[in-house]
Amino acid sequence: MYVLGVETSCDETSVSIVKDGKFVLSNVVLSQIEIHKEYGGVVPEIASREHVKGITYVFDKAISEAGINFEDIGLIAVTKGPGLIGSLLIGVNAAKVISLNYNIPIVGVHHIAGHIYANYIDNGMEFPLLALVVSGGHTELILMEEHYDFKKLGETQDDAVGEAYDKVARILGLPYPGGPIVDKKAALGKDTMKFPRPMVDSGDFNFSFSGLKSHVINVHHNMLQRHEDVNIEDFCASFQEAVTDVLVSKTIQAKNMFDVKQVIVAGGVAANSGLRRKMKERITDIPVYFPKMAYCTDNAAMIASAGYFQYLKHQKADDLFLNGQSRLNLEG
């Protein structure tokens, strides 16, 4: 079955055609990152306007690159949330127009389900599996016992991990987005600062990065007050070591408790080289999969793949009252 995926939850306008949840015929992504860069993050109203400008072009390009017609599509899968509400609505409404016009069933997909299914495209899935979802807006551990079955084991109680990276970058005077640049600097430094590993022994699967953020800011502030030189590379390395230690350690605890067959890492922070290395070093008994870089950031192929399995599992499409939702529970 050809599935048309649509993703506009943040600053990427993307449409994709994926066959049977796995074979990507086209995956067109129009990124707005250059536009938002000067504001230090995505600005909702600008994002909505850019989606409006780009959406028709992206639809047409995805169809023509896939070499099919709208009539060939068996299902439309669109991100319904969570995300920026104005941005979500552009994708949802465009998808509904195609659904109505060509009489194709439509399903609203959870954005995080998409990130998890990004892994299915290249690596397949074996259950039970554990997914660590890490991005600018999310830090969650999810257990899957079968396709499209999500059990949230724990999540961040305050800041998401990607956000902590952005904020630490801001303190150090590094540009947005903070993740890639801190990762790059960290590779050149050493863990000299010994920052705390928050909640590493909390006995549950929740995370907290706000305390670490405050601690890091405080240490930086005190160093400046004492006119000490801040070694940016060591500072980044110390922060990255603390963060990845917590992420990997909690993932291992969950992996052992639920006896899973594979671990997958999903979301934008899955691109972090320190996290990739530490996961692979410390988990050697079962496979650890990361999506390829093109599927780490937001894209519609992952939504098409997730939508396919959602439709198979529930055998049910949404109606045209389908709407965008800024906050949305994955399990619900």
Partner 1 sequence: MEIKLRLNSVKDTEILAKIISEKVFKGMIIGLKGDLGSGKTTFTKFFSKNIGVRDNLNSPTFTILKIYDGNHPLYHMDVYRLEDIGYDYELDEFIYGDGISVIEWYPYINKMLPNELLSIDFRVIDEQKRDVVIKGEGIYEEVVKTISHRYSN
- Chain residues binding partner 1 by CB under 8 A are 38-46, 48, 82-86, 136-137, 155-160, 162-163, 166-167, 170-171, 210, 213-215, 217-218, 221, 326-327
Find the shortest distance in angstroms from Cβ 80 to partner 1. 14
- Compare residues 38 and 259 and give the one whose CB is closer to partner 1: 38
Q: Which DSSP string corresponds to 154-210?
A: EEBSS--HHHHHHHHHHHTTPPSSHHHHHHHHHTTS---S----TTTTSSSS-B--H
Find the shortest distance in angstroms from Cβ 321 to partner 1. 19
Question: Rounded to an integer, what distance in angstroms lies between the CA atom of residue 94 and that of residue 76?
Answer: 11
- Compare residues 162 and 189 and give the one whose CB is closer to partner 1: 162
Of 233, 266, 258, 254, nearest in space to 115 by CA: 266
User: CA torsion sign, 65 to 120 to 309 to 9?
Assistant: negative
- Compare residues 218 and 256 and give the one whose CB is closer to partner 1: 218
- Compare residues 96 and 138 and give the one whose CB is closer to partner 1: 138
Find the shortest distance in angstroms from Cβ 212 to partner 1. 10
Which pair of tokens denotes residue 34?
Answer: 């250059």
- Compare residues 98 and 109 and give the one whose CB is closer to partner 1: 109
Find the shortest distance in angstroms from Cβ 86 to partner 1. 5
How many C-beta neighbours within 10 Å does residue 295 have? 24
In the chain, the N- to C-terminal Cα span, in Å, equals 26
- Compare residues 122 and 158 and give the one whose CB is closer to partner 1: 158
Of 172, 151, 168, 148, nearest in space to 160 by CA: 168
Find the shortest distance in angstroms from Cβ 263 to partner 1. 24
238 close to 193: Cβ distance less than 8 angstroms: yes
Question: The sheet that has 288-289: what strands, in order across it?
Answer: 151-155, 139-144, 129-134, 262-266, 288-289
Find the shortest distance in angstroms from Cβ 299 to partner 1. 18
Find the shortest distance in angstroms from Cβ 128 to partner 1. 25
- Compare residues 1 and 224 and give the one whose CB is closer to partner 1: 224
48 close to 90: Cβ distance less than 8 angstroms: yes
